[in-house]
Chain A
């Protein structure tokens, strides 16, 4: 979901049997957006959860929205037996002036493309990522691991969630990529960079990324959002595109 007036970009990748995954991811996205819309109208809307002094007020508001989504999905998971245990990963970014607040849970990612380089700004909350950090396995081994799809944090699975919040300064010329693991599972960052650095429009670029994800044998449900940050005269012009491919 991309809401440019709000400066909000969210990708959720659902988990759960049957259509519970879709239910969880849709509920996640809706709840996050609704919370931020409400906060924009009523600045004194109470925050859900603790306030983190190392990030700005908008970032704390984003974390609050994530917690709200966690509550909503968790509650809904109890309403029907086939929803039991459902959850979703989330990568959410909120742009305010030149600062980007990023909140995530799970293995959906945000990449920053700047000056010809690409960098993942988030670290996956996944079992393999933690094994890499501990030095037990290498990244190459992680890609082949049968446990590579296991996430260690997700919305809706527990009654409360520990939100990881990051904040960075962004500038004109930067490109943001939010994506689910369907893309990053099979496509290398250098290939992603190559596509994003081209001169095509964002629609073409996102089509190419989805095609590459599917060629690499990705699941049939990859979501990609590309945000190009540009300055025109003295005002910011934000372009976005969201492409969802369902088999």
Chain B
């Protein structure tokens, strides 16, 4: 099972009118409130019986307000559920709890896991492509299909008579799946399906898979297709 970091985080607890002390956050759930069954008991009528709790998800800590009367804030902002980051100041009434993450030298703390106060996840993919992704199309030059032109937007485009096929073959004896065109970004390649009759690209039989380039002539199951890949220039002449 996935584990947590070995160094525990701590809370610097500054209760109003009293000194400060450190508390280690070794529990998976750390409760805060007025009642005696809490991990941290704060005897103050302004603090609810079960005011808030700190929950540990792997190495990341979240503070949750438990529908307290007077609310809970982090760095001055009222919250219901919020990820804790190093040096965040939690306010419960007039008391302050400072969250301190212990990071060992030479290792970074994990980047933001998720901010639960928002409905969108902050983390962006770092795998943004350098070049714009181009979508190819095929033009039907012979044989029975439901359309004469198809845009290859899918990761896998099936050429066949089956229900989910992109290039739908409508001939009487058309196989359920004759071939598939797979896409990875702007690269496309074609493979024959199981038990299909021959797949030809530019009159040469394809046994495994074949990369497709602009102008390739595909022939399978009685249908002829021309593969077109735009060059990136917006004005593509229709032929």
Binding site for B on A (CB under 8 A): 13-17, 21, 53-58, 81-82, 84-85, 87, 89, 96-99, 107, 115, 127, 130, 133-134, 145-147, 149-152, 157-160, 162, 166-169, 171-172, 181, 219, 221, 231, 234, 236
What's the minimum C-beta distance from A17 to chain B, rounded to whole angstroms? 4
Evaluate whether A57 and B164 lie within 8 angstroms (CB atoms) in the complex, with A85-B57, A168-B156 already known. Answer: yes
Please, which residues of chain B bring their CB within 8 A of the CB of A151?
2, 58
Evaluate whether A171 and B194 lie within 8 angstroms (CB atoms) in the complex, with A55-B155, A158-B121 already known. Answer: yes
When the two chains form their complex, are residues B28 and A84 in contact, meaning their CB atoms are under 8 A apart? yes
CB proximity to A under 8 Å, residues B144-159: 153-156, 158
What's the minimum C-beta distance from B145 to chain A, rounded to whole angstroms? 18
When the two chains form their complex, are residues A81 and B29 in contact, meaning their CB atoms are under 8 A apart? yes
Closest partner residue, chain A, to B176 (CB atom): A97
Q: Which single member of A14, A54, A57, A159 contacts B1 (CB below 8 Å)?
A: A14
Evaluate whether A134 and B126 lie within 8 angstroms (CB atoms) in the complex, with A98-B193, A169-B156 already known. Answer: yes
Closest partner residue, chain B, to A229 (CB atom): B194
Evaluate whether A149 and B114 lie within 8 angstroms (CB atoms) in the complex, with A85-B55, A166-B155 already known. Answer: no
Q: How far, in whole Å, are A56 and B153 apart by their CA atoms in the complex?
A: 11
Q: How far, in whole Å, are A16 and B176 apart by their CA atoms in the complex?
A: 45
Q: How far, in whole Å, are A160 and B119 apart by their CA atoms in the complex?
A: 7
Closest partner residue, chain B, to A15 (CB atom): B2
Please, which residues of chain B bring their CB within 8 A of the CB of A98?
158, 177, 180, 193-194
When the two chains form their complex, are residues A147 and B5 in contact, meaning their CB atoms are under 8 A apart? yes
When the two chains form their complex, are residues A157 and B194 in contact, meaning their CB atoms are under 8 A apart? no
- Total interface residues on B, CB under 8 Å, equals 44
Q: How far, in whole Å, are A195 and B38 apart by their CA atoms in the complex?
A: 52
What's the minimum C-beta distance from B129 to chain A, rounded to whole angstroms? 13
When the two chains form their complex, are residues A97 and B164 in contact, meaning their CB atoms are under 8 A apart? yes
Q: Is B123 an interface residue (CB 8 A)?
A: yes
What's the minimum C-beta distance from B155 to chain A, rounded to whole angstroms? 4
Please, which residues of chain A bring their CB within 8 A of the CB of B177?
97-98
When the two chains form their complex, are residues A157 and B57 in contact, meaning their CB atoms are under 8 A apart? yes
Closest partner residue, chain B, to A78 (CB atom): B64
A-B contact pairs, 21 of them (CB 8 A): A55-B155, A82-B29, A84-B53, A85-B55, A85-B56, A85-B57, A87-B57, A96-B164, A98-B194, A107-B2, A115-B208, A133-B127, A145-B107, A146-B6, A152-B113, A167-B156, A171-B191, A171-B193, A172-B194, A219-B1, A221-B1
What's the minimum C-beta distance from B224 to chain A, rounded to whole angstroms? 21
When the two chains form their complex, are residues A85 and B194 in contact, meaning their CB atoms are under 8 A apart? no
When the two chains form their complex, are residues A56 and B119 in contact, meaning their CB atoms are under 8 A apart? no
Q: Is B134 an interface residue (CB 8 A)?
A: no
Please, which residues of chain B bring their CB within 8 A of the CB of A234?
195
What's the minimum C-beta distance from A222 to chain B, rounded to whole angstroms? 10
CB proximity to A under 8 Å, residues B17-33: 28-29, 31
Please, which residues of chain B bring their CB within 8 A of the CB of A21?
1
CB proximity to A under 8 Å, residues B28-49: 28-29, 31
Q: Is B110 an interface residue (CB 8 A)?
A: yes
Q: How far, in whole Å, are A179 and B114 apart by their CA atoms in the complex?
A: 25
A-B complex: 7 closest residue pairs judged by Cβ atoms: A169-B180, A85-B57, A17-B28, A149-B2, A167-B155, A84-B55, A85-B55
